[in-house]
Amino acid sequence: MTVHPIIAALRKHKAGVVLIALQIALTLAIICNAIFIIGQRIERVNQPTGMHEENDLFLITQHWVGAPSADDPAGLEKLDSMQQADLAALRNLPDVASAAPIRSLPLLHSGSVGGIGLKPLQQKSTIDSNFYYGDEQALSTLGLQLIAGRAFTAADVQHKPMRDESEPVLAIITKPIADKLFPQGNAVGKVIYLDSSSTPTTIVGVVARLQSAVDTEGSSLTWYSALFPVRQDANFSRTVVRAKPGRLDAAMRAVGPALYAVNPMRVIDEEHGVRSFTDIRADAYRADLGMAILMSVVCLILLSITAAGIVGLTSFWVGQRQRQIGVRRALGARKIDILHYFQLENLLIAGIGAVVGILLAVGLNLWLITRFEMDRMPVIYVLVGVLAVLALGQAAVYVPARRASNVPPVTATRAA
Amino acid sequence: MFVYYLTLGLRSLRRNPALTVLMVMSIGLGVAASMTTWSVFRAVSGNPIPDKAAQLYTPQIDNWGPQQNEKGEPPSALSYTDAIALMHAHQAMQQTLLYPVQLSVLPGGSRSLPIAVNGYAVSGDFFPMFEVPFQYGSGWSTADDEGRTAIAVLSEEFNQKLFGGANSVGREITLDGHDYRIVGVTRHWDPKPRFFALFGSSGFEDPADFYVPFTRALDLQIDTAGNNSCRGKLTATGWDDWLRSNCVWVTPWVELDSASEVARYRQFLEGYAADQQRAGRFAWPPNVRLRNVMQWLDFQHVVPSESRISLLVSLGFFAICLINTIGLLLAKFMRRAAEIGVRRALGASRREIYKQYLMEAATVGVAGGVLGLLLTAVGISGTGLLFTPEIARLAHLDLSLVGLTLVVAILATVAAAFYPAWRAAQVQPAWQLKSN
């Protein structure tokens, strides 16, 4: 079949052609960007934090009422013994596997960030990193995977006021930090300097992975974390608890009464005082997941509306051309020829739309990059999008084209 | 004629139910998506204090230097040293420092369990500057600031919880074991976004329960409940060291009523930073900012990027729906070329045809608008999927949104009908009559 008569016929329907092509172009531009965004968000949501069996974890945040200041030595000791009493009570609960004081947790969007350098008094630190503070049980409670060196022992743990900025003696770092600072390997035993300090901190262990506690939006900080053997004392405390498998709810219910029994002069917020890690994770990724769902719904509706538009306009053309179709059939065209005619016509229009759509899609992506710091979209998304809209056009045109092919040749003889 | 065209339009919609449903769905979905995302965007991008947004300014001073600041921008809060220096210089008519605090209170006397309450440590000027409405009593004076008095202003809600809504002015409240005399109770006051305290907050949290003097909070060494951001080598081991450090945590606001005052204040900031450089405290040239409320909200990216992106996506979606509607209307109108021919031959002018078909489109628009309204209500109840609960609950279907939804749906459909109706009006009566 030659294309020439199709183009000649389309000249008579410029408006319809432009409308369908434009609709396909815009649909293409939006869906390939949307699918790209969906893919990125899903990938983010699925990345592991580095904590083993993290769904058994929960976090307790509580504030002391009328507690002494950690700034003077007596107050500090008092605060520390209060914290120790809490930890002992929590570790004694039947549904609790282990518990450790902790400054923050991955994805909590609240934490401490500092600099790590290789030389004393380094003006600008080599990297920024999350600083986690915990005791000798922190590593096992979090379920981190130690790949070199050793965990902290009880003797390693210092306790200090939270505002005390003196540098810890020992550290465990994540593999990404070890790879960055010591590319030759063997980070264990090496010395680092925190926050441009002059006092060295010795690396005793390396863990495979530990995600950031603060919102990092894809920067390298996401995987740069360091854990220090420090129990921080302040007018509030945070404790990470690992429940025994399957006992999370029971353990979470038990902590409130247990802690109030130790000391009632404290505030445990009803909503956020005791939070499961599942909840923290869901909160952190709510926008990502919501965005993915929203984009999927928009894509689905867009595709159906575009398909419906094609069905509507093509049906109209088929109705208009009844007589011409009859003539062609009377002159010897088979049903399949008529069917192919409309299919090819749609392919042409969709093709034009797709070409314009590719330009729009790339343009939209470039604009999103400048306005929303999004990443460049790989070409594959555009190609898949093009195939999708072409297939959609063919599927949508099939019904009216079938009806056209069923127009009997006798129509030609009827007076129109 | 209007009513006649309306009935013609309705009759025509019934003649082609599939096409009509398609158009109505198209318009309905498009307008609902746009209105749902707009309702969130409207809530998060609004002006929280329209009367004074142009007079309230927050100064920023770079105390971190080019090596450690955020891409050349000064930090988003002041260090204690700079904050106190600005207050003492007193270069603005009204000025306040503030930081968020979280304290505990025993709601049912000494035998109950403590609960946490949130508030702000502020200066006395805070209340007139931000036009805080009062139910009982008032704020406090500069003398109270200087006297470091133990006084507090409660919110209407907190006063309701604690005192059953009675006039509690003059009574005592114990926060974290310290007594404060209540001097005022505000009316419900909750500007969204909470422009004045964005350091460590999204701007959409629950309203404050209380306000206490900044100076008193310092005396009691109450920590900030917001962000505390420090740079470089830290040597602090206690409260006093912390105050002297480069850690930023205090938010300043000044009221400047005219352009000349703004210029003068900016000059003062430059001068202050230059003095610090001369004194050797800053090793870099002055780097200061003075932003008003809307500039500050913009700089702090208060509008979540999800809100902008979803609004853009749904507008694009609406555009496609409209193009779709143009095509469908064209098909629908042109199918009736014969009928138009008859009408034209019987004396109807092009204008009349044009009017008739725009009217028909308007009926589609109304139906689309009503569907859009229902879908918008569904959409708004689903905003929690994408946004945090604090933001999601800001989106609601009020009268203005209902009106906007209907108007947008009708206007958009009529606009989409311009071309198809014009084509209908161009139909040559002679041709149509002949071929029939």
Give A38-61 pLDDT, tens digit per residue: 998 899 899 999 999 999 999 999
Are B170 and B194 within one domain?
yes
Q: To 5 degrees, how large is the angle CA A9–CA A332–CA A5? A: 15
Mutate to test the interface with A, among B222, B324, B334 (most CBs of A within 10 A): B324
Q: Is residue B274 part of a domain?
A: no
Task: Return the minimum-mean-pLDDT range out of A29-38, A150-159, A313-322, B404-413.
Answer: A313-322
Give B86-105 pLDDT, tens digit per residue: 999 999 999 999 999 999 88
Mutate to test the interface with B, among A193, A267, A299, A323 (most CBs of B within 10 A): A267
Residues A118, A119, A124, A130, CA torsion sign: positive
Q: Do A15 and B26 touch (CB under 8 A)?
A: no
Are B67 and B41 within one domain?
no
How far from the centroid of its chain's Cα atoms is residue B221's Cα? 33
**Residue at which a domain ends, from B255, B287, B313:** B255
pTM of the model: 0.82
pLDDT, residue B236, reads 67
Are B108 and B218 within one domain?
yes
- ipTM of this predicted structure: 0.80
Question: Does residue B106 carry a pLDDT above 70?
Answer: yes
pLDDT, residue B202, reads 82
**Residue at which a domain ends, from B255, B275, B296:** B255
Q: Is residue B416 part of a domain?
A: yes
- Of A235, A287, A301, which is closest to B223 when you measure between CB atoms? A235
Are B327 and B239 within one domain?
no
Are B195 and B88 within one domain?
yes
Q: What is the mean pLDDT of residues A94-106?
A: 95
Q: What is the mean pLDDT of residues B249-269?
A: 95
Are B191 and B74 within one domain?
yes
Q: What is the mean pLDDT of residues B421-436?
A: 77
pLDDT, residue B108, reads 73
Q: How far is the CA of B380 from the CAs of B46, B385, B405, B407, in angstroms?
A: 18, 10, 13, 19
Give dist(CA B216, CA A112) in Å, integer.
Answer: 27
Question: Does residue B189 carry a pLDDT above 90?
Answer: yes
Residue A291 binned pLDDT confidence (cut-offs 50, 70, 90)? confident
pLDDT, residue A1, reads 61
Q: Are B266 and B290 in contact (CB under 8 A)?
A: yes
Q: Do B419 and A316 touch (CB under 8 A)?
A: no
Question: Does residue B379 carry a pLDDT above 70?
Answer: yes
Residue A29 binned pLDDT confidence (cut-offs 50, 70, 90)? very high
Question: Does residue A218 carry a pLDDT above 70?
Answer: no
pLDDT, residue B304, reads 84
Per-range mean pLDDT, top range of A61-70, A308-317, B150-159, B383-392: B150-159
Nearest of B48, B393, B394 to residue B194 by alpha carbon: B48
pLDDT, residue B433, reads 67
Are B122 and B245 within one domain?
yes
Q: Are B74 and B62 in contact (CB under 8 A)?
A: yes
**Residue at which a domain ends, from B237, B255, B273:** B255
Q: How far is the CA of B111 from the CAs of A100, B105, B106, B107, in angstroms?
A: 30, 12, 8, 9
Mutate to test the interface with B, among A19, A124, A269 (most CBs of B within 10 A): A19
Question: Does residue A281 carry a pLDDT above 60?
Answer: yes
B400: containing domain: 2-47+305-435
Q: Is residue B195 part of a domain?
A: yes
Residue A11 binned pLDDT confidence (cut-offs 50, 70, 90)? confident
Residue B332 binned pLDDT confidence (cut-offs 50, 70, 90)? confident
Give B47-67 pLDDT, tens digit per residue: 999 989 999 999 999 998 888
Listed in sequence order, the DSSP H helices in A321-378 are 322-330, 335-372
Q: Do A161 and B237 touch (CB under 8 A)?
A: yes
Residue B111 binned pLDDT confidence (cut-offs 50, 70, 90)? low
pLDDT, residue A118, reads 92
Which residues lie across from A128 on neighbouring strands? A115
Give B206-255 pLDDT, tens digit per residue: 899 999 999 999 999 998 988 888 887 666 677 888 898 888 999 999 99
When the pLDDT of each residue in chain B is averaged and rounded to a whole number, the result is 90
Q: Is A369 near chain B, with CB under 8 Å?
A: no
- Of A65, A166, A305, which is closest to B321 when you measure between CB atoms? A305
Q: Do A121 and B238 touch (CB under 8 A)?
A: no
- Of A287, A308, A372, which is closest to B22 when you measure between CB atoms? A308
Are B98 and B207 within one domain?
yes
pLDDT, residue A56, reads 95
Q: Is B243 near chain A, with CB under 8 Å?
A: no
Give dist(CA B302, CA B120) in Å, integer.
Answer: 20
Q: What is the mean pLDDT of residues B372-388?
A: 88
Give B222-236 pLDDT, tens digit per residue: 989 888 888 876 666
How far from the centroid of its chain's Cα atoms is residue A340's Cα? 45
DSSP state of A167: P
Residue B274 binned pLDDT confidence (cut-offs 50, 70, 90)? very high
Total tally of structural domains belonging to chain B: 2
Q: Is residue B261 part of a domain?
A: no
Q: What is the mean pLDDT of residues B163-175?
A: 93
Q: Is residue B410 part of a domain?
A: yes
pLDDT, residue B3, reads 83
Burial class (CB in 10 A: 0-12, 13-18, 19+), A361: buried
Are B117 and B23 within one domain?
no
Q: Is residue B420 part of a domain?
A: yes
Residue B434 binned pLDDT confidence (cut-offs 50, 70, 90)? low
Question: Does residue B28 carry a pLDDT above 60?
Answer: yes
Are B37 and B112 within one domain?
no
Residue A294 binned pLDDT confidence (cut-offs 50, 70, 90)? confident
What percent of chain B has pLDDT above 70? 97
pLDDT, residue B389, reads 83
Are B78 and B160 within one domain?
yes
Are B77 and B192 within one domain?
yes
Which chain A residues are Cβ-neighbours of B239 within 8 angstroms?
69, 71, 163
pLDDT, residue A156, reads 94
Per-range mean pLDDT, top range of A320-329, A405-414, B259-268, B344-353: B259-268
Q: Is residue B350 part of a domain?
A: yes
When the pLDDT of each residue in chain A is averaged and rounded to a whole number, the result is 90
